[in-house]
């Protein structure tokens, strides 16, 4: 599948999200997942996933038997990514021998109606809405938005007592091995960039979203019923190759850091950044680069 980013042909966001699938498969916290499965309403629930990207989570939840019928809404601000999602899910369904029938606003996968909604989350929460969801999911998204502003609206999208599952929330630790003298400088500058990012006129993310969610959820009247770590751990196998497309995933992580810091000479000298990226690129090519990112998952119920 090619759904390339024309603004930056070196970086294909859809491919990055597809490559991330196996990394997330390993990382998602199984204790928190078991609690989600226990809380998941029987029958045909209405699930809303915000910042859903390519739709890899709905595929995973079908594979893992957590959802199978009802309605699953994929909401994302990126229309092109939603177009990719339609194709990616059709291919995924075909590979499993499932029906993947197109619908005017999405597709039917087996017994599940998947709807694609193009919207920016903040604007979506401000607008009036119809039916509320039984389950709201956000995977690798809440660290990209202003949680104190967004969270109350997100919980209001749920029926009273509805279930949230907020996963892969970055929590301020990135480890690259083997160590490099510029690691601390680079990671600290990257965290600062995350903490100062603004989009849509609002703060857009925090480098310590994971640990802060304990408090934010409690303050919103929806303390977590289960929480646990969901660290990304990426390394090559004994033969020096990375699983699946995870070498591309690692390249994308390096590219993201490069993009965030290349205009910030005040924080990282361009020569230091170039040296760090060159060393990391060589280690990646040789299958020597190990990457670990600390993240946290949460499951709970909306107030009421
Ligand atoms: C890191 S990706 C994660 C995608 C998907 N959840 C996954 O784990 O594969 C973040 C996604 O959130 C979407 N996103 C970020 N900010 C958003 C916002 N304010 N409103 C709607 N979508 C947003 C992006 O377009 C992107 O698809």
Supply the residue whose CA is at minimum distance from atom 4 of ligand 1: 53
User: Quick check: 3 pLDDT over 60?
Assistant: no
Looking at residue 265, its pLDDT comes to 85
Judge whether 113 and 74 are in contact, CB under 8 Å: no
Mean pLDDT (the chain) is 94
Query: Is a pLDDT exceeding 70 seen at residue 93?
Result: yes
Between CA 288 and CA 216 the distance in angstroms is 38
**Structural tokens at position 88:** 């990616």
The pLDDT assigned to 78 comes to: 97
Among 217, 235, 237, which Cα is nearest to 226's? 217
Q: In this model, does residue 295 exceed pLDDT 70? A: yes
Q: What are the angstrom distances between the C-alpha of 220 and each of 43, 130, 227, 300?
A: 28, 22, 16, 12
The stretches of 111-244 forming alpha helices (DSSP H) are 121-126, 147-156, 183-196, 209-219
**What distance in Å separates the CA atoms of residue 141 and residue 74, rounded to the nearest whole number?**
13
CB of 21 sitting under 6 A from ligand 1? no
Pairing between β-strand 106-109 and β-strand 202-203 as defined by DSSP bridges: unpaired
**Does 246 sit in the ligand 1 pocket, CB within 6 Å?**
no
Q: Residue 51, by phi and psi: left (phi above 0), alpha (psi -120 to 50) or beta?
A: left
CA of 74 to the centre of ligand 1 (A): 10
Q: Is the model's pLDDT at 136 over the cut of 70? A: yes
Neighbour tally for 285: CB within 10 Å: 12
Residues 120-130 pLDDT 10s: 999 999 996 77
Summarised one tens digit per residue, pLDDT across range 218-269 is: 999 999 999 999 999 999 999 999 999 999 999 999 999 999 999 888 889 9
Of the residues 13, 27, 51, which should be mutated to test ligand 1's pocket, given the most ligand atoms within 8 Å of the CB? 51
Q: What is the pLDDT of residue 68?
A: 94
* Per-residue confidence (pLDDT) for residue 131, from 0 to 100: 78
Q: What is the pLDDT of residues 157-190, one digit of tens each?
A: 999 999 999 999 999 999 999 999 999 999 999 9
pLDDT attached to residue 264: 86
Residue 177, Cβ neighbours under 10 Å: how many? 13
pLDDT band for position 2 (cuts 50, 70, 90): very low
Contact in structure between 147 and 212 (CB atoms under 8 Å): yes
């Amino acid at each position: 599948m090619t759904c390339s980013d024309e603004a930056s042909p070196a970086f294909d966001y859809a491919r990055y999200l597809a490559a991330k699938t196996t990394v997330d498969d390993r990382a998602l916290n199984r204790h928190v997942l078991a609690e989600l499965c226990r809380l998941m309403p029987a029958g045909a629930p209405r699930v809303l996933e915000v910042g859903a990207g390519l739709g890899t989570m709905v595929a995973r939840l079908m594979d893992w038997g957590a959802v199978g019928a009802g309605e699953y809404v994929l909401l994302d601000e990126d229309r092109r990514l939603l177009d990719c999602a339609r194709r990616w899910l059709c291919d995924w369904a075909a590979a499993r021998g499932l029906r993947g029938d197109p619908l005017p606003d999405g597709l039917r996968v087996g017994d599940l109606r998947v709807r694609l909604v193009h919207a920016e989350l903040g604007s979506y929460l401000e607008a009036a809405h119809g039916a509320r969801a039984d389950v709201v999911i956000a995977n690798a998204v809440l660290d990209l938005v202003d949680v104190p502003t967004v969270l109350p609206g997100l919980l209001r999208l749920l029926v009273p007592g509805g279930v949230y599952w907020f996963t892969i929330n970055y929590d301020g630790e990135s480890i690259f091995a083997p160590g490099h003298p510029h690691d601390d400088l680079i990671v600290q500058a990257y965290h600062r960039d995350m903490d100062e990012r603004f989009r849509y006129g609002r703060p857009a993310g925090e480098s310590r979203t994971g640990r802060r969610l304990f408090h934010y959820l409690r303050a919103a009247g929806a303390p977590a019923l289960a929480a646990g770590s969901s660290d990304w751990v990426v390394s090559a196998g004994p033969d020096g190759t990375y699983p699946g497309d995870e070498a591309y995933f690692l390249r994308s992580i390096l590219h993201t850091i490069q993009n965030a810091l290349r205009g910030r000479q005040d924080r990282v000298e361009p020569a230091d950044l170039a040296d760090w990226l060159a060393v990391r690129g060589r280690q990646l090519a040789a299958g020597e680069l190990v990457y670990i990112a600390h993240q946290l998952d949460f499951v709970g119920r909306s107030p009421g």
